[in-house]
Homo-oligomer: A and B are copies of this chain.
Amino acid sequence: MSAPKTASQADSLPAELTESPLDIDAIRAEFPILDQQVHGHRLVYLDSAASAQRPAVVIRTIADYYTKDHANVHRGAHELSVRATRRYEDARGKVARFLGAGRADEVVFTRSTTESINLVSMTWGIANLGPGDVVVVSEMEHHSNLVPWQIVCERTGAEIQAIRVTDDQRLDLDHLDALLGSGDVRLVATGHVSNAIGTIHPVDEIARRAHEAGALYLIDGAQAAPQLPIDVRAIDCDFYTFSGHKACGPTGIGALWARRELLDAMPPYQGGGEMIEEVRIERSTYAAVPHKFEAGTPNIAGAIGFGAAVDFLQALDPETIHAHEKRIARLVLERLADEFKAITLYGPAPDVARAGVVSFTLADIHPHDLATILDHEGVAIRAGHHCCQPLMRRLGVAATARASFYLYNAEDDLEALVRGLHRAQELFRV
């Protein structure tokens, strides 16, 4: 749809494209999993938008925690419990700082982005939505930022409306204004970066408009936090969510950030140990935030590994990671458009704000067939609807192939992709 029109050769590249701002070789050396052969070829991992890989420091941190300091957190009066609690709460501080939050106790540890959004929908949503109220999402949302709102709207009688996607595959802010114009919108919930087509949304602008209309603003930052500098106070949003496993961290851990006043006013989510103050058979009173939202034994090792992951990203510098992503996205889009007549590229043009996630289809080859062929060339991509069925419908495709480039991907990975696509064309006689 928005395939770049001009080809570009290495010698005609603008200065900032000639070299990545990251030292990719040094970074790759930190990711042990990348050092392997798949089907006889070097592994070329282009599926980080589904889940990134972990640097050795994260794996080591988890092992180190279990080998030296593990015990249950809070309420413990012995040394290991003190150490475990300290490491767990230190991780909270690291995540808070990573998001630009003002306070550590505004960060709730969850399993994932999905759980973070469910937590908000089932607490803030249940308490604040009712018939006549509207929750605005967008056609570009991941299912995790759609289904929780569907469920809560069904429960409360509120209505769900979706910001349209423009022909150049961005959010239609005029349509957002039209939706906000009703005066009934209580919450706007959008992604920050599309996992399907790489669009980066103008979240500052959406926050401003939502607030002007008296609505709160929740951001699904699953794809953004791993690759953009995030500052929740500068964005001026109300809720921000992301997952550890897409940000070089462990699986099973995620974060919800929300303004303290909102967290204080929200009813608890799950019930159980750690989140209570006093329990009688009939009734209980609840602990203060963030513990009110962390019932039961939390993913202690996961949180500590998450802390190590955001430290890792912080050390590389999110600005630099973003510059790398912009560069590689542009290279990929131009190279693919240049090389393959039969390719259709989705997402905004390369000169527009976008991430290193490139969705495409090639001739009449089914995306899963493409994925299988590339896999046999050592190249891991994803095929399907990318948990964005409404967007796929909007784009008029059942599925796309998606290659997502992250901080350990460089030109050689792009060339492997190109070779794999040639092989697919050859096999399919395109």
Contact = CB atoms under 8 A, between A and B. Distances in A.
Interface of A: 32-33, 36, 38-39, 43, 45, 47, 50-51, 53-54, 58-59, 62-63, 66-72, 75-81, 111-115, 117-118, 121, 137, 139, 142-144, 146-148, 150-151, 160, 162, 243, 245, 250-253, 268, 270-276, 278-284, 295-302, 368, 371-372, 374-375, 379-384, 387, 389-390, 393
Nearest to A162: B281
Contacts of A243: 296-297
Contacts of A113: 296
A80 B45 contact: yes
Nearest to A144: B272
B252 A70 contact: no
Select the residue from A160, A270, A380 with max chain B CB neighbours within 10 A: A270
A252 B76 contact: no
Contacts of A143: 271-273, 276, 279, 284
Contacts of A62: 59, 62-63
A67 B78 contact: no
Contact of A148 (B139, B271, B281): B271
B389 A273 contact: no
Given A43-B80, A148-B270, 12 more contacts: A38-B78, A54-B70, A77-B383, A79-B380, A81-B380, A114-B296, A144-B271, A147-B272, A251-B301, A252-B299, A252-B302, A279-B390
A225 B138 CA distance: 45
A146 to B, nearest CB: 6
Contacts of A32: 67
